[in-house]
Structure 1
Amino acid sequence: MGLRYRVAWPVPGQRRRTIDIAFTRKRVAVYIDGCFWHGCPQHGTLPRSNADWWRDKLAANRARDASANAQLEKLGWKVLRFWEHEAPDTVARHIYEVVRPEDM
């Protein structure tokens, strides 16, 4: 769609955390969250083996997501999150609507 973006862009103020797709000029951060790793309510699962550890791990992942969202929003970024199972064309159109160039 002709949009310029960066991949794995550092989250300002949070070491070792990155934005999946960053539109730096528009300050739009896009994350594509995996259903397992981010606890999708529709497709997320919890392993039976070592279940307590996994429950804590996935909760920590969601807390980290919330922390990154809050940090970016505090700095004036708009955060868009999508699940890995969402249709790519639909996701791309939504992103384009938010990021599209002013001359359109």
Structure 2
Amino acid sequence: MDFIKGLWRDLRARPVDTLVRWQEQRFLWLLMAVAMGGLIILAHSFFQIYLYMAPCEQCVYIRYAMFVMVIGGVIAAINPKNIVLKLIGCVAAFLWKHYGH
């Protein structure tokens, strides 16, 4: 709990420096990839398998965008201090977010 309080205190005190520091850590990118992958699995397993609902066209676009975010997060997590890999991860996360809309 102290770790989370420390992160929150740093974010409130120096938001830009804290976000730059977080982007250079593997945890943030893996958190994004795991969260998006978990949402894809949840949507598929709950709605399609448990409730027997067929996905609509928009659902397919949203899942595809989330899958691209997973790929981008994994690519950026390879070496988050490498600007090229981090840029690929950011482009995948933010650009494809709009296509899933």
Higher helix share: 2
Task: Establish whether TM, by shorter chain, passes 0.5.
Answer: no
TM-score w.r.t. length of structure 2:
0.36
Radius of gyration: which is bigger?
2
